Structure 1
Amino acid sequence: MDVHKIQVSTKDNLASNSTKIHQVLSTSDMEPTIIFMTGSTGFIGKETVKQLAQGDAQLLLLVRSEQRARTVLKAYGVKDFTRITFITGDLSISGLGLAAVDRERVVKANVIIHAGGTMDVTLERKVAEQIFMDGAREVAQLAQEIHGTRGLRHFIHVVGFMSPYGQRNEQGGYLQVDHVGDQESAYEEMKFHADLLIREHAEEHNYPLSVVNPSTVVGPRPTGETEQTGGIGLLIQAIQKRLMPVVPGGSSYWLPMVENDIVARTLVFLSREADPAGGTYPLLARKEDSPNMKELLHLLAHELDVPKPKGAVPLPWIQWAMKSGGTRLTGVPAESVAFITNRSFPVEETEALFTRMGQSWPDIREQLPLVTADLDYRLRYTPLPEEVPADYIRSRSGNMAMIGWEGEGEPWIIVHGLLQSADEMLLLGEQLWKETGNPVWLMDLAGFGRSPVHQGDEAFEGQVGTLLKALDEFKGPVKLVGHSIGAAIVAAAQLRSGRTDIRLGLLQPVANNSNPNVLRWVSRLPRGVMRSLLRLRSEKSWKRMFSAYISGEDKRGMDHMMAKRIRSSLQSPRIAGANADLLRWMHSGKRGRVSSFSWMQEWADDHTNHTLVVWGKEDREYHYPQDMNSQVQRIDVPYGHYFPTFQYKETASILAKWSDTLK
């Protein structure tokens, strides 16, 4: 049966969605919506709660710990808890483990969203059965009780897209499947049996049921943050380790994907329908409109900076190899290929639902670079110390990932240097935000942190071009600060932009001003060799380097933490390659006028007060740029190259005072 193509989505859909939802609600005489929800702190659940909290529904959230749930939701961006009630319980316990007073609250709900269950494809069968089958029985029993006493408006069940129970046999009954398939994990099998249990229970007791079948879920726009690493993250992990030299299944196979904000938007809309008809809604695009496995793996390999896979191997062969010892050797579970399929899925009902929503289907290709960079960084991530702030927000500008704080007045935009990412600038950013009250945004350079690689061939020019596109989204005056090579990049971007409303703060600017040392020789080695040297350098060696930049009470183990984080992040071929490219550019001798800072001669004549250079006199690797205009304001500090990271309070104070002189 032909399925019409769903068009690519745009940000404008948000406004049209809210209008259409309002029309649905305003034409009904519904009683106030009270939603009982499981899985509210999961990857899909948090986004759903965040969207629901912007409406007027009362939310009853089943959680194991109210304190933990509140913390998790607050960290995700849920700000208003006035319509949220936490219900302490557990899906695997009889009666959901509810106290009598909580049971009384729950039976007043008229909508149930059942999205509970651990996302772990490696779950043992007994544990999976407790979570999914026992949980389904308990929630279904609750639905029966509500419907028998006051009427249940809608039961919405979230279950994986590979479930076979969305289709009927020729007699109109559900397909009977004893085992979903040898390739499926107990996690998948128990979820699918729970799907059948709830479907049959809904038919028996005659309450409206909608089954939402998300495909592999990735992070939302604009950031692509994919904290659920058990789906596509397993595939990326295999590619990271260069354990996917061939295409599993070939071009006839694919990996359906959907962003979690699209899933949440679907659940929110269904919860607000006045007279739900029920149905099954696979959340995925048509197979022919999606990247096949060859295209997908080539895209992922490009973003991860590893060789593209060549040839194809039947999927059962790969599954057999992984189950026969490959998983033990590689650390990548056999379930990493469980969601790869050659099936097409009926999306007629989904298309009709999206038409009602005023929503069009997004092209996953637009989101994949951000998702890939986020997962690549996340899988290599070493947590920061507890004293590092946790109240920042993540966003994106252009194609650059950024973190920071909102505020009043001119924004600060800070770009890190070599061997670091925006995360290492968090302490500086928070201090600057506290001192000025301005918005502060920390950018990840292309290929660093959570930013995708740039699409140019030349390292420096690619970075400048990516930053220019990001700056286009900031209208009005900004204070642009860069550290190390980041200072050269922001300086070049300012010049290329032609804007006169950008004030420059250059922290230890470097380009062609390195001192003679072994790094200059190493940088002339082939790219692959240099990247390997960076990846092989020991944590102890990195610690020795950073120890030279810290002293006294500033130390506090930060040299060890920085060494551990850098060693870990450089195991990513993408991040190691981005560092190698800029190091090779800096020491190759092939630099133009902009990179050597001679542009400051013409810029500083008219904008001396708009530029500040802070220079650490103890830097052993670089000297102050000889061609820097002497009229530029310069402040010397008695530190080494990485003073913005280790002496962040003093650096923030210098920048804040400089900002005051610009007013």
Structure 2
Amino acid sequence: MSTPDTVVFGAAGFIGRALVARLLQQGHTVAAAVRPGTEARLLSWLDSRDLDRERLTVLGCDITDPDLGALGAAPLDDVRDVYNCAARFSFGLDPAAARAVNLDGALHVLRWSAGRPRLRRLVHITGYRVTVPESAEHDYAVGAYGASKFEADAVLREQAAAAAVPLTVANPSTVIGPGQYIGLAELVRDLWHGALPALPGDTETLLPILDLDYFVDFLTLLPRQPDSAGRSYTVLDPASPPLPELIGLLARHMHVRAPRLTLPVGLVAHLPRRLTGVDAERLAFIAGDRYDTSAADAVAARAGLTHPLAETVLRDWADHLVSSRFGATEADPTAGFERGLWVCGERHTPEYVLLHGLPTDSEAWREVRGLLAAPTLAADLPGLGRSAPQPAGPDRWLDDLLAPVAGRPVLVGHSLGCVPVLRYAAAHPDRVAGVVLVAPAFLQGGGSRLARTPIATALLRRLPPVRLAALLGIPAGPAAESASANLRRPGVARRTVAALRAAGRPDAHASARRLLDELRVPVHLVTGSTDPLTTTVTAPVTEIAGAGHYPHLTHPDQVARILDVVRKDFADSTYRATAPGR
């Protein structure tokens, strides 16, 4: 393999890994400098995107070490371009820790770069607020992150000039994309959880955004620009809406309530943090300043690089934030909001459509979905999980969800989710291949004991994931964690309990049984041996030994096998009324 022509410091970080990926796609041979212990994180991220790593070398590097660890000893004399994406980006940093990376580390990278005989460019990434000298975040008393970046900016320029290092500085605004969970993401998190009663600032306040893909493309342009050495470029999306408009756009997309009140930053700064949830360091970034991006715009224009639509970038990012629970878990890249409904999977050609029971959400199907031999589509029920209440009729949401679907999928419902499955199959028998009912509660006696508990709503809102899993008799893990997180959101626990109580009424059970009896499509039932049916049915039933009311969570491999067999049987015009696997 040829020796690297490009080095990326901070290559396991949010911007660094995306830059490594783009450079590899462009044909560069790249040395990725990562903090020791983070190598696997970078490699797994690249592998998840099916990137060829043949031209990649990963080297451990501690930029707080003047010798730069293993990278400093590596033979990298053919390197032409160096990118420093390494930084400590967090609020509440100790000043010494912030300076060690953001100032001293940047100087160590500069000195190492000065020793490269073929160096074409050192590109250093800082932030757009360094262009506002009088800004409060440049004061260490306010916060170490902004202050250390501001201090480093001046020192780095001075020493680069003295050492004749061709330095180019990129000053991005808030870069957003999958993996960004700091700063603006924290406002979005509060918005999602109903904990954002007011916005700091006013109608002119701007937190400009920048799409991650656009920014890494821009970075790759800089070394090729002969006039960019010794210059800095403020990079942001000129279509970034003022903060109240930005939050309003996201609130409409996520179908949550946007704050109508704005408070002057100075007033918020004097209020107790326990009331506002915002500290002085974050407030320092909330301002009405506008920024000169003409130099960056000219570079982009020469290359034909254009910003993606800001609204699309924000909506896609919001989907990622909610899917990943704001960085707590791996996001589902297929998941997102559609007219207030939370949907994941294949929208047009699914072989299965999966609806959850309560108090879980569509996350409960994730393991089964991964085991199935065909594409799936899943959704959170309206008003439950991550979906907003739907104002139309009881099943209009399901009509809309399945309208783009080609072919005839198998509809699968669990517990309460069995009822909308039955109603849709009864109304549109020509649109489905068949129905699978997993632990249908309407055939299992009385209603939910949880719903009959007087304090059910308060209980669900307060139960941590482990205790919720124990209450339901399911494994502690992603399904319980997702359900617990959603039940803490305003209104979700109350609507969950109301839905459980309504579904447990005798008339609701009778109505569902009538639908089942009158159905004109193939039906198969799946139950757990410890949660048997209490009503006789003519449809075939598969019982899973040792399973309770949530067999798809406790025995996902068996449920997936049953579904795959049943799907093939449904496709056979002589569908056998026998349980698969028996």
Bucket of the pairwise TM-score, normalised by the shorter protein = 0.7 to 0.9
Residues 270-322 of structure 1 show CA distances to partners (whole Å, capped at 9, x for unaligned) of 46x47564554434333xx4433333444555667765434322102212325
Q: Work out whether residues 129 and 135 of structure 2, in 8 Å CA contact, stay in contact via their aligned partners in 1.
A: no
Picking from 36, 57, 77, the partner of 1:85 is 57
State the AA in 1 paired with 2:367: L
User: If the length of structure 2 is used for normalisation, what is the TM-score?
Assistant: 0.79
Q: Distance in 2 between matches of 1:365 and 1:586?
A: 39
Picking from 40, 55, 66, the partner of 1:94 is 66
1:401-420 alignment runs, 5 A limit? 411-420=351-360
Residues 108-146 of structure 1 show CA distances to partners (whole Å, capped at 9, x for unaligned) of 211112111132122111111000111211222233222
**Structure 2 vs 1, CA of residues 587 and 203 (structure 1 numbering), >3 Å: closer, same or farther?**
farther
SS across alignment from 1:94: coil
State the AA in 2 paired with 1:236: V
Q: Distance in 2 between matches of 1:578 and 1:214?
A: 42
Is it true that 1:572 corresponds to 2:489 in the alignment? yes
SS across alignment from 1:395: coil
Picking from 542, 548, 568, the partner of 2:468 is 542
SS across alignment from 2:170: strand
Q: Distance in 2 between matches of 1:544 and 1:257?
A: 42
Is it true that 1:295 corresponds to 2:245 in the alignment? yes
State the AA in 2 paired with 1:164: T
User: Which residue does 2:294 correspond to in 1?
Assistant: 348
Q: Distance in 2 between matches of 1:459 and 1:218?
A: 37
Q: Work out whether residues 33 and 111 of structure 1, in 8 Å CA contact, stay in contact via their aligned partners in 2.
A: no
SS across alignment from 2:180: coil
Residues 167-192 of structure 1 show CA distances to partners (whole Å, capped at 9, x for unaligned) of xxxxxxxx698972578521112123
User: Which residue does 2:45 correspond to in 1?
Assistant: 73
Picking from 213, 225, 237, the partner of 1:261 is 213
Picking from 53, 62, 80, the partner of 2:24 is 53
Q: Distance in 1 between matches of 2:6 and 2:492?
A: 44
**Structure 2 vs 1, CA of residues 476 and 91 (structure 1 numbering), >3 Å: closer, same or farther?**
farther
Residues 329-379 of structure 1 show CA distances to partners (whole Å, capped at 9, x for unaligned) of 777544343432211122323433443444433344334455445435655
Q: Work out whether residues 48 and 264 of structure 1, in 8 Å CA contact, stay in contact via their aligned partners in 2.
A: yes
Q: CA deviation at 1:74?
A: 4.2
Q: Distance in 2 between matches of 1:615 and 1:201?
A: 71
User: Which residue does 2:128 correspond to in 1?
Assistant: 161
User: If the length of structure 1 is used for normalisation, what is the TM-score?
Assistant: 0.70
Q: Work out whether residues 37 and 60 of structure 1, in 8 Å CA contact, stay in contact via their aligned partners in 2.
A: yes
Q: Distance in 2 between matches of 1:494 and 1:359?
A: 48
Q: Work out whether residues 515 and 623 of structure 1, in 8 Å CA contact, stay in contact via their aligned partners in 2.
A: no
User: Which residue does 2:579 correspond to in 1?
Assistant: none
Residues 516-575 of structure 1 show CA distances to partners (whole Å, capped at 9, x for unaligned) of 5666678xx9xxx9865531457687355323xx6xxxxxxx259866664344223375
User: Which residue does 1:424 correspond to in 2?
Assistant: 364
User: Which residue does 1:360 correspond to in 2?
Assistant: 306
Picking from 15, 24, 29, the partner of 1:44 is 15
Q: Distance in 1 between matches of 2:482 and 2:237?
A: 38
Q: CA deviation at 1:657?
A: 1.9
User: Which residue does 2:551 correspond to in 1?
Assistant: 643
Q: CA deviation at 1:483?
A: 2.5
User: Which residue does 1:314 correspond to in 2?
Assistant: 264
For structure 1, the residue ranges without an aligned partner over 5 or more in a row are 1-30, 166-174, 220-224, 384-389, 551-557
Q: CA deviation at 1:94?
A: 0.3
State the AA in 2 paired with 1:570: L
Q: Work out whether residues 238 and 332 of structure 1, in 8 Å CA contact, stay in contact via their aligned partners in 2.
A: no
Q: CA deviation at 1:197?
A: 3.3
Residues 475-501 of structure 1 show CA distances to partners (whole Å, capped at 9, x for unaligned) of 556545332344444555667788747
1:221-236 alignment runs, 5 A limit? 225=178, 227-236=179-188
Picking from 553, 561, 565, the partner of 1:657 is 565
SS across alignment from 2:68: helix
Q: Work out whether residues 161 and 282 of structure 1, in 8 Å CA contact, stay in contact via their aligned partners in 2.
A: yes
Q: Distance in 2 between matches of 1:518 and 1:475?
A: 39
1:585-604 alignment runs, 5 A limit? 586=503, 596=512, 604=520
User: Which residue does 1:17 correspond to in 2?
Assistant: none
SS across alignment from 2:64: coil
Question: What is the identity percentage for the equivalent residue pairs of Structure 1 and Structure 2?
Answer: 22
Name the structure, 1 or 2, with higher relative contact order (CA <8 Å, separation 6+): 1
State the AA in 2 paired with 1:195: D
State the AA in 2 paired with 1:193: E
SS across alignment from 1:95: coil
Q: Work out whether residues 380 and 572 of structure 1, in 8 Å CA contact, stay in contact via their aligned partners in 2.
A: no
1:181-220 alignment runs, 5 A limit? 181=139, 185-204=143-162, 208-219=166-177
Residues 81-111 of structure 1 show CA distances to partners (whole Å, capped at 9, x for unaligned) of 1111012211111032246641x22x32111
Q: CA deviation at 1:51?
A: 2.9
Q: Distance in 2 between matches of 1:459 and 1:207?
A: 67
Q: Distance in 2 between matches of 1:563 and 1:232?
A: 27
Q: Distance in 1 between matches of 2:503 and 2:24?
A: 50
Q: Work out whether residues 117 and 132 of structure 1, in 8 Å CA contact, stay in contact via their aligned partners in 2.
A: yes
Q: CA deviation at 1:576?
A: 3.9
Is it true that 1:114 corresponds to 2:40 in the alignment? no
Picking from 95, 108, 116, the partner of 1:138 is 108
Q: Work out whether residues 135 and 284 of structure 2, in 8 Å CA contact, stay in contact via their aligned partners in 1.
A: no
Q: Work out whether residues 181 and 326 of structure 2, in 8 Å CA contact, stay in contact via their aligned partners in 1.
A: no
Taking only aligned residues, the RMSD between alpha carbons, in angstroms, comes to 4.5
SS across alignment from 2:525: strand
Q: Distance in 2 between matches of 1:157 and 1:64?
A: 17
Q: Distance in 2 between matches of 1:143 and 1:135?
A: 12
**Structure 2 vs 1, CA of residues 487 and 184 (structure 1 numbering), >3 Å: closer, same or farther?**
farther
The count of corresponding residues between Structure 1 and Structure 2 is 563
Residues 378-421 of structure 1 show CA distances to partners (whole Å, capped at 9, x for unaligned) of 558876xxxxxx8x96324773767779xxx9754544332223
State the AA in 2 paired with 1:468: L
Q: Distance in 2 between matches of 1:634 and 1:254?
A: 59
Q: CA deviation at 1:60?
A: 0.6
SS across alignment from 2:110: helix
Is it true that 1:251 corresponds to 2:196 in the alignment? no
**Structure 2 vs 1, CA of residues 377 and 429 (structure 1 numbering), >3 Å: closer, same or farther?**
closer
SS across alignment from 1:394: coil
Q: Distance in 2 between matches of 1:393 and 1:516?
A: 33
**Structure 2 vs 1, CA of residues 276 and 569 (structure 1 numbering), >3 Å: closer, same or farther?**
farther
Q: CA deviation at 1:64?
A: 2.4
**Structure 2 vs 1, CA of residues 380 and 258 (structure 1 numbering), >3 Å: closer, same or farther?**
closer
**Structure 2 vs 1, CA of residues 198 and 447 (structure 1 numbering), >3 Å: closer, same or farther?**
farther
Q: Work out whether residues 394 and 402 of structure 1, in 8 Å CA contact, stay in contact via their aligned partners in 2.
A: no
**Structure 2 vs 1, CA of residues 183 and 91 (structure 1 numbering), >3 Å: closer, same or farther?**
same
Q: Distance in 1 between matches of 2:482 and 2:390?
A: 27
Q: Distance in 2 between matches of 1:510 and 1:645?
A: 16
SS across alignment from 2:241: coil
